[in-house]
Amino acid sequence: MAATFTPVVFSHKVSVKLDDNNFLLWRPQILSAIRGHRLQDYISDSFQPPLKYLNQEDEVLGQINLKYTEWEVQDQLLYSWLLSSMSDGILTRILQNQKKGSLSVNEYLLRIKTIVDQLLSSGHLVTVKEHVAAIFKGLPPAYDTFVISVNSRNSPYSVAEIETLLLSQEHRMENQSRELDSVNLATNRGSRFKPQYSPNLSNNADSRSQNPPNRNTNQGHGVWNPYAISTRNTTSGQSFSNPAAGRGFTNLSAVSNSQAPSGSKLVCQLCSRTGHVASRCYQRFNMDFPGVGATNVQHHSANITTAETVSDDAWYPDSGATTHCTPNVSNFTQKQPYLGSDQVQMGDGAGLPIQNIGKKATK
């Protein structure tokens, strides 16, 4: 039979409350009480609390781990007792330096409220503005949009309203995170390979008549083709290691001025004569040579090829941008009026007002 959990409740008070001058006197009293109840792990940096949910199914059903609940109860009781042993000046400083960190929003708000209640019980009044400022100060950057939107309101919110809105914002962010995980999983399953590309092979018959198939996979082409893939000609049954071979791409590293493949038509880009390349042209050091005009030379359009994209069924929802603009409010899945003064800056320096902010969920 499992032992019944009984939390430790600190009933004794510390004789000296912590302030800026008596830490060495305050510390031994606190540590002896904590060690006497064997709770020293709760104040250790290396201590890891139990998991809140044992598995994903429990998280979906909202079934919290019993060990986590017991730890949270004892942790809050110890935390409250420590706060009661501190002076108002120290409590105010702690209130202003609270951080959410890995805590849930509910746990974070509870910690701040505990400090505020402790200050109130000692006669130190904490205003609504100070309470809300302490909450906002400890939030991570992910909540910046929420903070800006709330601060832009003319009439201030109450603490209860801020807590409700913040819990709702956390729930929304968690839902979006789960949706994004499911979208990424679906995308990874549907697109395990990069999209393939194939060049235009409509004139491959003519190309073969000019240049024989080059079976060398490590070719020194004048133009680099990043999408070179093995392409089989279904008409002749020949296998080409590079689809660019024979379409104006010449293996320059294997050709000299005196030796050229039979049937090849090397064209000099400097003088437009055939049989050699520009690096071996006798006109390249002739300063009086005008060069080739556009009216008396063939346009070697085959030197530049544009790959045709094979139909790609995969889709990519993440563009890398963190914020998007849209003129159509119906594109929002969730929206709310924007109450701030920020604008969208255009290329000419003009600013466009922001009417709404919201989110778009992609399914």
Task: Tell me how far CA of residue 195 lies from CA of 190, 312, 317, in angstroms.
Answer: 11, 6, 15
Last residue of a domain, one of 53, 85, 117: 85
Fill in the DSSP letter of residue 322: S
SS3 (DSSP) at 345: strand
- What Å distances lie between residue 351 and 32, 342, 347, 354, 356, CA to CA? 63, 9, 9, 9, 15
pLDDT tens sequence across 130-162: 999 999 999 999 999 999 988 888 888 899 999
Higher pLDDT, 50 or 361: 50
The rounded Cα 193 to chain-centroid distance in angstroms is 21
In a domain, 154, yes or no: yes
- Stretch 84-106: mean pLDDT: 89
In a domain, 303, yes or no: no
In the prediction, which pLDDT does 71 show?
92
> What is the value of pTM for the model shown?
0.44
**Could you read off the pLDDT of 318-341 as tens digits, one per residue?**
555 667 788 887 777 778 888 887
Q: Do 121 and 154 belong together in one domain?
A: yes
Q: Tell me whether residue 108 is in a domain.
A: yes
Taking CA atoms, 236 is separated from 54, 115, 208, 239, 244, in Å, by: 63, 83, 11, 9, 17
Counting residues of the chain whose pLDDT is more than 90, the rounded percentage is: 24
Q: State the pLDDT at residue 240.
A: 40
Count of residues making up the chain: 363
Task: Give, to the nearest 10 degrees, the angle between helix 159-190 and helix 128-137.
Answer: 20
- Whether 110 and 175 map to the same domain: the answer is yes
Q: Does any domain span residue 124? A: yes
What DSSP assignment string belongs to 142-174?
GGHHHHHHHHT-SSPPPHHHHHHHHHHHHHHHH
Virtual torsion, Cα 238, 240, 244, 246, nearest 10 deg: -50
Spatial separation of the C-alpha atoms in residues 103 and 105, rounded to whole Å: 6
Distance between CA atoms of residues 356 and 147, nearest Å: 15
Handedness of CA 246, 252, 255, 257 (dihedral sign): positive
Residues 63 and 123 in one domain: no
From 60, 85, 110, give the residue that closes a domain.
85
| pLDDT for 188 | 56
Of residues 170 and 361, more confidently modeled: 170
Residue 214 has pLDDT above 50, yes or no: no
CA 355/CA 338 separation, integer angstroms: 6
Most confident of 3-7, 71-75, 214-218: 71-75
Does residue 230 surpass a pLDDT of 90?
Answer: no
Q: Tell me the residue range of the domain where 131 lies.
A: 101-180
State whether 117 and 151 are in the same domain: yes
Instruction: Return the SS3 of 134.
Output: helix
Q: Is 298 within a domain?
A: no
Of the three residues 123, 157, 180, the one that is the final residue of a domain is: 180
Are 106 and 175 in the same domain? Answer: yes
Does residue 315 form part of some domain? no
Section 35-53 average pLDDT: 90
**Which pLDDT score is estimated for 251?**
41
**Which segment of 87-91, 189-193, 209-213 scores lowest on mean pLDDT?**
209-213
How many separate domains does the chain show? Answer: 2
- In-domain check, residue 317: no
Q: Is the dihedral of CA 115, 118, 119, 120 positive or negative?
A: positive
pLDDT at 181: 63
Q: Is 220 helix (H, G, I), strand (E, B) or coil?
A: coil
Contact call for residues 137 and 96 (beta carbons, < 8 A): yes
Residue 248 reports pLDDT greater than 70? no
The pLDDT assigned to 342 comes to 83
Residue 287 in domain = no
Residue 180, pLDDT > 90, answer: no
Give 52-63 pLDDT, tens digit per residue: 889 988 888 889
Q: Do residues 76 and 125 both lie within one domain?
A: no
Q: What is the mean pLDDT of residues 299-314?
A: 51
